[in-house]
Amino acid sequence: MLALDPREGSLRDHTVEGLPSRLRAGDLVVLNDAATLPASLHGVTARDEPVELRLAGQEPGGAWRAVLFGEGDWRTPTEHRAPPPALSAGETVLLGGGLTASVARVSSLSPRLVTVRFPLAGAGLWRALYRAGRPVQYAYVSAPLPLWEVQTVFASRPWAVEMPSAGRPLTWSVLEALRARGVELATVTHAAGLSSTGDDALDAALPLPERYQVPEATASAWARTRRQGGRVLAVGTTVVRALESAMGAHGELRAGEGVATLRLRPGDRVTAADGLLSGVHEPGSSHYDLLEAFAGTALLREATAHAEREGYLLHEFGDTMLVW
């Protein structure tokens, strides 16, 4: 874990097991408890053309956004995947396990971004998705991932199409050590979306709108922490997006469901959290921009260079950065 202190302008190498020592009694840690769906679905079009459909989040009313890929699988880097067949509204994709998806509309952002509907609903749809789908994964992982490998220990509702990976290093022993130190834990559920699409225009628009829910207990814990002078640490960029989206006009965190559409950039003021635990991200990504909003440009650039020299790993199975 690379720890950045924007007040001192310093950075130090630590371990995630040392995280509790960086917090104090009265602080609040907010986790994303979304479980990861088997969101990669392979099939063929009605013209027998191979296609991969990666779910990108559920819309109000039950439809799903999805990104299309052509022939191949995760073993080929996303940016080198074959383009998908062109699909139009009304066409059907035949997926594994007898599951089908019909294209409701094609996005103006990219023909690869579509909205689909499944003929099944409720428990029947969930059974079919878990039977036919596989976790979204990328070529830097050499072996196929079972679904349990892309879950945090506190995963709950299956909302995320990619793992909310900032929470992955937080074992039960780390969480218990935080509690023993007097740090309060709370959760939001945020539907973490795709991190790469293979389409430059679509990648530039990431993150897409993502639904979230802030429980009453979390809003109460946040208000109590603020009132008593404690600090709030967000575990993951998804938590920051959920909290900032739920902030009221008078600086209070509102409980309830919503859709996060904001993209935080360098120089933006973050009011819902004082610090961020995240992965090590590449410059130019939306995750890096959000880290920069916490750390500042100069310190994050220094940290990025240090991480590269020291061999820190990127992506969801990589190392951790703490801005605190």
Q: What is the DSSP string of 107-169?
A: -SS-TTEEEEE-S--HHHHHHHHHHH-B----TTS-SPPPGGGG--TT--SEEESS--GGGTT
Indicate whether 291 and 150 sit together in one domain: yes
Identify which of 263, 27, 276 has the alpha carbon closest to the alpha carbon of residue 167. 276
Q: Is residue 140 part of a domain?
A: no
Q: For the chain, 324 residues long, give each residue's pLDDT as a single digit of tens.
A: 999 999 999 999 999 999 999 999 999 999 999 999 999 999 999 999 999 999 999 998 889 999 999 999 999 999 899 999 999 999 999 998 889 999 999 999 999 999 999 998 899 999 999 999 999 999 888 889 999 999 999 999 999 999 999 999 999 999 999 999 999 999 999 999 999 998 989 999 999 999 999 999 999 999 999 999 999 999 999 999 999 999 988 899 999 999 999 888 888 889 999 999 999 988 888 889 999 999 999 999 999 999 999 999 987 788 999 999
Specify the pLDDT at position 308: 93
- My answer on whether 28 and 105 are in the same domain is no
Assess whether 218 and 269 both reside in one domain.
Answer: yes
Last residue of some domain: 132, 158, 181? 132
Q: Which residue has the tokens 């023993």?
A: 180
Same domain, 170 and 193: yes
Amino acid making up residue 27: D
**Domain harbouring 97, CATH code:** 2.40.10.240
- Domain housing 11: 2-36+145-323
| CA–CA separation, 210 and 242 (whole Å) | 9
Please report whether residue 183 resides in a domain: yes
- The per-residue pLDDT for range 95-134, each reduced to its tens digit, is 988 899 999 999 999 999 999 999 988 999 999 999 999 9
- In a shared domain, residues 100 and 192: no
Residue 227, SS3 per DSSP: helix
**Do 17 and 75 share a structural domain?**
no
> For residues 140 and 114, what is the distance between their CA atoms, to the nearest angstrom?
26
Report how far residue 193's alpha carbon sits from residue 132's, in angstroms, rounded to the nearest whole number: 19
Do 28 and 167 sit in the same domain of this protein?
yes
Q: Is residue 266 part of a domain?
A: yes
Same domain flag for 291 and 252: yes
Domain co-membership, 233 together with 248: yes
Predicted pLDDT of residue 49:
96
Residue 138 in domain: no
Are residues 216 and 269 located together in one domain of the fold? yes
Q: Which two tokens stand for residue 110?
A: 């990219």
Quick check: is 137 in a domain? no
Tell me how far apart the alpha carbons of residues 101 and 88 are, in angstroms, rounded to a whole number.
Answer: 12
| Last residue of one domain, picked from the residues 73, 101, 132 | 132
User: Across the beta sheet with 256-260, what order do the strands follow?
Assistant: 10-13, 2-5, 320-323, 275-279, 232-235, 28-32, 184-190, 210-214, 256-260
Number of neighbours of residue 119 by Cβ within 10 angstroms:
12
Q: Within 10 Å of residue 142's Cβ, how many Cβ atoms? A: 6
Residue 135's nearest CA partner among 126, 120, 148, 121 is 148
Q: Tell me, yes or no, whether 139 lies in a domain.
A: no
Three-state DSSP at 238 gives helix
The fraction of the chain above a pLDDT of 70, given in percent, is: 100
Residues 164 and 274 in one domain: yes
Q: pTM of this prediction? A: 0.94
Q: Same domain, yes or no, for 87 and 236? A: no
